[in-house]
Amino acid sequence: MMVLVVEDDKIIAEGLKLALTGEGMEVTLASSVAEAFAALDSEDTGKKIDFCLLDMTLPDGNGMEICTKVRETSEMPIIFLTAMDDEIHTVLAFDKGADDYISKPFHIKELIARMKRLIKRTKSSANTVCVIGDNSVDITNAKMYRGGEEVPLTAMEYKLLLVFINHAGEVLDRDQILNILWDDVGSFVNDNTLTVYIKRLRSKLGDDDGKFIETLRGQGYRLNL
């Protein structure tokens, strides 16, 4: 497992490297957007990187740019580690495709626990295709198709779809969905936001009548395969 750590504070970067190598992980350090892009494009490291830890504010840009680049070709786990803990940046990071968002200062043991959870989830969902009606979800490549044509999904629409797939047949209430999506930072997103995402996802699935993503009044939602 190789982790790309993008952090311009050398003390934090070296501390992360020491902790992660102690867990048996390889670590590639980058202190800027340019260095991160170089590592991702490198023949030596690019194809080996399995996980990204990103700072938000960098000397030549921000972590959102790196997150966007990674999501163009990969569904590897991405965690933001940043002092910017406001609602706007948190929601934007998840919309760009981040898996988690941790505010500084943070506890290294908690970070490693969250990383291991994401690694386990990624491995369990690898090489899987899920069929929902006329839709085929290629989880390996993070794409959905209907009638042979790709149906474009935003990063958050896809994450929400994965939540339902991973809990197919189960009733999930709104709090459960928010906690899974935003890993216990659901307070940054209100009910209206979740309603909008579910409506959009149903539309992408051709599920305007709620046949696949079923609403159970007073209980929550259930994906029917």
pLDDT for 187 = 42
Same domain assignment for residues 146 and 76: no
Strands 61-62 vs 57-58: parallel, antiparallel or unpaired = antiparallel
Q: What is the CATH number of the domain that holds 157?
A: 1.10.10.10
pLDDT for 81 = 94
Q: What is the pLDDT of residues 63-121, one digit of tens each?
A: 999 999 999 888 899 999 988 888 888 888 999 999 999 989 899 999 999 998 888 77
| Helix (DSSP H) and strand (DSSP E) numbers for the chain | 8, 13
> How many domains does the chain fold into?
2
Same domain assignment for residues 47 and 148: no
pLDDT for 185 = 42
| List of residues 6+ apart from 81 with CB closer than 8 A | 7, 12, 53, 54, 55, 102, 104, 106, 111
Its domain, for residue 150, covers 129-223
Identify the segments of the chain with pLDDT beneath 50: 184-187
Same domain assignment for residues 22 and 94: yes
pLDDT for 194 = 87
Same domain assignment for residues 10 and 101: yes
Helix (H) or strand (E) holding 10: helix 10-21
Threshold 0.75, pTM exceeds: no
CA distance 94 to 78: 10
